[in-house]
Amino acid sequence: MQRFSQSPTDPGFVQNPYPFYDRIRAAGDLAWWDEYAMPCAASHCAVHAILRDRRFGREVPPEVAPEIPNHLAPFYKVEAHSMLELEPPRHTRLRGLVLRAFTSRRIKDLSPEITALTHLKIDTFPKDTPFEILTAFCQPIPVIVIARLLGVPDDMAPQLLRWSNAMVAMYQASRTRATEDAAAQAARDFSDFLRRYIDTRRNDPRDDLITHLIAAEEEGEKLSTDELITTCILLLNAGHEATVHTLGNGIKTLLETGTQQINDQAVEEILRFDPPLHMFTRYAYDEVTLHGHTFQRGDQVALLLAAANHDPDQWPDAHRFAPTRPVTQNTSFGGGLHFCVGAPLARLELQIALPILWNRCPKLRIAEPPVYANTYHFHGLERLMVQTS
């Protein structure tokens, strides 16, 4: 297996990781990334296959589970109930209960609210001066939508965003002790808020997701309060983080390529071309030999989702943004048992918000060179200055 060294916090890599992905993918289906000390799958066929291989999973085998330091106990208390970090049978139960509440009809019913919210945010854009569109448009729309879906008041959205940002920073290569302390405090505060809010909803049911999650039942099984809290946090953290980055990356790409026609096909190309999540790891649950490498139980493999999305064997001229490209399933939402439960909502937000933005702001342009944030394995902009005239 060929070895590669590349710091995930190197400024050049942060701004453009795709040349490194090309090098590592050219080495074969698996290559070793020194900084992560694990094999990486970079080709589409390898990533696609391992996402669906039940010999690999997200849950940490007990014999290799690290000891949790005291200062991170509040954070991992939340993570312990996350279906993103679990495997069957518990994952099956949690996901089934969540899907009973998070239905396609419930998501589709959000269309008028997403439309109205998009127009409301555009109405606040400055007319003649550059402004930062991530904070003006890309961040508030997904956070407010999820807050409304859960049944949380709009005025809580900024606080939810702060808690969420602090918690997801735990997965970034640039993480520090200060990051960990902030994530633990956010997990504690977020949990305390939701515990009180869930109690309120038990006594005052509404037509919102929290109420439906409380009521969701399968063969007499319901979500415990701790599971409810973690599920709400997961839906917000995973949902808003990915959609904010995708909106920002998408706006940048559309403006840089001069794309005018934005339909569902173009949205799929945005998701493929510059996705918000670049790496997802799996643990081996048995001795497994793949592509000439033998994994022992407990070994990890990194799935480079963005590298897979740029595989020329799957997409001809893969580095070119082609909004009319025939849709082929990409890896941006993962795959297998852990395929993103929020994918339909993310797609809906993009399909509604971007065409309205282009229609309302036909002269929208980039005002300063875009800057990506040092947040790997997420990939999103730190700043995107634009102007509408």
- Check: CB of residue 380 under 8 Å from CB of residue 276: yes
How many whole angstroms separate alpha carbon 319 and alpha carbon 22?
Answer: 10
The structure's pTM equals 0.95
One pLDDT digit (tens) per residue for the chain, 389 residues: 899 999 999 999 999 999 999 999 999 999 999 999 999 999 999 999 999 999 999 999 999 999 999 999 999 999 999 999 999 999 999 999 888 888 889 899 999 999 999 999 999 999 989 999 999 999 999 999 999 988 988 889 899 999 999 999 999 999 999 999 999 999 999 999 999 999 999 999 999 999 999 998 877 889 999 999 999 999 888 877 889 999 999 999 999 999 999 999 999 999 999 999 999 999 999 999 999 999 999 999 999 999 999 999 999 999 999 999 999 889 999 999 999 999 999 999 999 999 999 999 999 999 999 999 999 999 999 999 999 98
**Inter-axis angle of helices 225-257 and 177-203, nearest 10:** 120
DSSP 287: -
**CA pair distance 274, 225, nearest whole angstrom:** 37
Give the fold, CATH level 3, of 3-387: Cytochrome p450 (1.10.630)
Cα torsion at 213, 152, 134, 346 (round to 10°)? 20
The three-state secondary structure class of 375 is coil
